[in-house]
Amino acid sequence: MNLTTVLTENVFEAINVLYKAKPAESQVQLQKTRKEFEGDVTLVVFPLLKISKKSPDQTANEIGDFLVERGGLVTKYNSVKGFLNLVISDSYYINFLKEIQNIENFGFKAKTENSPVVMVEYSSPNTNKPLHLGHIRNNLLGNSLCRILDANGSKVIKTNIVNDRGIHICKSMIAWQKWGKGETPETCPRKGDHLVGDYYVIFDAEYKKQIKRLVVKGMPEEQAAKEAPLLKEAQEMLRKWENNDPEVHELWRTMNQWVYDGFDVTYKRLGVDFDKIYYESDTYLVGRDTVLKGLKNNIFIQKEDNSVWADLTADGLDQKILLRSDGTSVYMTQDIGTAQLRQNDYNPDKMVYVVGNEQNYHFKVLSIILDKLGFSWAKDLYHMSYGMVELPEGKMKSREGTVVDADDLMDEMIATARNMAIELGKLEGLSPEEKEENYRIIGMGALKYFILKVDPVKNMTFDPKESIDFNGNTGPFIQYTYARIRSVFRKAEELGIAAATGIISLDSLFDKEKSLLKLLHEYPAIVNEAGENNSPAIIANYIYELVKEYNQFYHEHSILKEEDSMKRDFRLVLSENVGKVIKSGMNLLGIDMPERM
């Protein structure tokens, strides 16, 4: 039974004895004591004044006296303006450490037959360009969210929707036909996704030249953008693709495979994977059929140009196009079909879309449209919206080729980790292979942690140099602390010291020992909070606080040189469990931990 439950029961008993009343559950409010006051848990007294019919201070003192006199859990208290700060006994936290010592997945909830099935969609790349920094934030958030939901007892299905069709794909194909000279990933030194992305950039550059030439001839720029020959060629290719033109489909399959092979390499380096990958080229057909049925049933409207729309004005929104005048589909059509296929395949209790906040309106509309179509699960769609990620230099633009490529960024992070480790004299004594693996772990840990420590809803600026600092709220700082703990145990083994696992015979704790135990005690609640709020940042910042506290403890208290064997063994067990929670929390972020640094 956890501390909150026990304390709540004790407060109920106190009120019953003192005031002959039974409070509502909402009236017993417990919270973490603020740092400027002595105490571990605070009872908010104000909701109880209607029962006690006494002043806040008098009520707090009476309840505090009762809890102390009851013995065992609360050792002393202080009252501050209606807030009762309770000091929990050292013995409670010592017993807590004994309990968690042999719990393999401390803080996690076990799955049952009734565990909810949650499907999480993330990544969602286009096959006309490689993954970039924006995709990295998406993939890291999605992967971490899946781990957190799994830790909270959900049955998680990781899914991806690949946008493998549309005008943007045709632009890369047209450019390759015109200027590619038959090059392939085998004949040039570039990954397939990079190769195809290069032709997307080439298309945009040539398209802009055509617009400029038409404007020089006197055509308005807006009209020139529509009349440029390259765009018309791409539009015609899309029509041919939707009509199953064999030559277009053959080129489409070839170039898409180049991209998929490139994506696989990047995903592996990021440490993300998927249980099921859907393709827009399959799902849009299901969506189109559903839209046409909705049109037939007067759920949607058709305009004079034959385009099909959802009229959402009665819902306080506007009209949303579902099929263009030439019958081609839009993203909304695809998402309607994808949602149906996923329900048919897995019947999830909840569907989470990890997509940037620029698509907030899109997912609001998707849920309403699916509801109008009569799908009972439409209201169970959840958009995990997140902010944009930029560099110190500003925004990135795919068409202009100014994005930060994911592969290049990972290479840079590992190279920076290597340079800093060498400069600081880290990793001495390791073999070349061990050093390279540590550079990878440190570099990728820095990248992942820096991105995931930020609240997902916030926009963020990613600074590679700041992220890999070995001090402060960074991945390398946390990894170094974990390696420090592992070093303690290697030295203990060399000295022939082995802590008596689970045998702790202390009566009292030093402040830093108790502070660490209080933080460890919070871990299950932190994991739960991160799941409820869909926020890996809650895990990241908790681990940082734990690491800071451990480093202060490490500097203030000797471990292996402690002469009292009971205290020494206790600190070893405490260190072991701190290390266990650090590794567990960082694993929820998808971050590997080095044994040495």
Domain residues of the chain, as ranges? 3-88, 122-286+325-390, 428-588
Residues 346-364 have pLDDT tens digits of 999 999 999 999 999 999 9
SS3 3: helix
Average pLDDT over residues 521-536: 97
Residues 428-588: name the CATH superfamily.
Isoleucyl-tRNA Synthetase; Domain 1 (1.10.730.10)
Average pLDDT over residues 9-15: 96
Residues 248-273 have pLDDT tens digits of 999 999 999 999 999 999 999 999 99
Helix, strand, coil shares of the chain, percent, nearest 5, are: 55, 10, 30
Per-residue pLDDT band for 402 (boundaries 50, 70, 90) equals low
Q: What is the pLDDT of residue 71?
A: 80
**Phi and psi angles of residue 41, each rounded to the nearest 5 degrees, phi first:** -130, 140
Q: What is the pLDDT of residue 9?
A: 95
Q: Which tokens belong to 49? A: 């004044």
Q: Flag whether pLDDT at 188 surpasses 70.
A: yes
Residues 122-286+325-390: name the CATH superfamily.
HUPs (3.40.50.620)
**Per-chain mean pLDDT for the chain:** 93
Q: What is the pLDDT of residue 398?
A: 43
Same fold, 3-88 and 428-588: no
Q: Flag whether pLDDT at 427 surpasses 80.
A: no
Per-residue pLDDT band for 500 (boundaries 50, 70, 90) equals low
Range 507-513 contact pairs with CB under 8 angstroms and sequence separation of 24 or more: 507/90, 507/91, 508/90, 509/90, 509/93, 509/94, 510/556, 510/557, 512/549, 512/552, 512/553, 512/556, 512/557, 513/553, 513/557, 513/570, 513/571, 513/574
Per-residue pLDDT band for 399 (boundaries 50, 70, 90) equals very low
- As a whole-number percent, the residues of the chain with pLDDT over 90 amount to 84
Q: What is the pLDDT of residue 491?
A: 93
Q: Flag whether pLDDT at 115 surpasses 90.
A: yes
Q: What is the pLDDT of residue 471?
A: 86
Range 507-511 contact pairs with CB under 8 angstroms and sequence separation of 24 or more: 507/90, 507/91, 508/90, 509/90, 509/93, 509/94, 510/556, 510/557
Average pLDDT over residues 290-302: 96
Average pLDDT over residues 368-380: 94
Q: Which tokens belong to 486? A: 């592992």
Residues 39-62 have pLDDT tens digits of 999 999 999 999 999 999 999 999
Residues 161-182 have pLDDT tens digits of 999 998 999 999 999 999 999 9
Average pLDDT over residues 292-321: 95
Residues 56-72 have pLDDT tens digits of 999 999 999 999 998 88
Domain covering 3-88, topology: Gyrase A; domain 2 (3.30.1360)
The answer to whether the beta carbons of residues 249 and 241 sit under 8 Å apart is yes
Q: What is the pLDDT of residue 37?
A: 94
Answer with the residue of higher pLDDT: 321 or 422.
321
Average pLDDT over residues 187-194: 93
Q: What is the pLDDT of residue 496?
A: 87
Q: What is the pLDDT of residue 465?
A: 82
